[in-house]
Amino acid sequence: MFILGLLGGTLIVAYSGYETSPRYGGSSVFVPTPQAYIIAAAMYGMSCLAMLALLRRLTTSLIWAAAVVSSYVLLAWLFSHSIGQL
């Protein structure tokens, strides 16, 4: 969940939205940035909760937790900038 949420949120942010199609056929619809950011925030939140659950099992140190959370934010930022250039 950690990796999938991070990558899903990053893809939405990098491409300023996402495309979805109806269940029973029809034309696909592009969901633009303002509405797509709600889904991206939910995916980042899911990923962050999974990361914190893993972190809780590994360490109880507040310094390590702060370092891991800041690394997570940096990783998400780097992913969004590197994927956006593809």
String of DSSP letters for the chain: -HHHHHHHHHHHHHTTSEEE--TTSS--EEE-HHHHHHHHHHHHHHHHHHHHHHHHHH---HHHHHHHHHHHHHHHHHHHHHHHT-
Number of domains in the chain: 1
Which pLDDT value is given to residue 66? 85
Which pLDDT value is given to residue 42? 92
- Residue-level length of the chain: 86
Listed as ranges, residues in the chain with pLDDT below 70 are 84-86
Which pLDDT value is given to residue 86? 58
Which pLDDT value is given to residue 85? 61
DSSP letter assigned to residue 27: -
Q: Residue 6: give the domain boundaries.
A: 2-84
Which pLDDT value is given to residue 28? 83
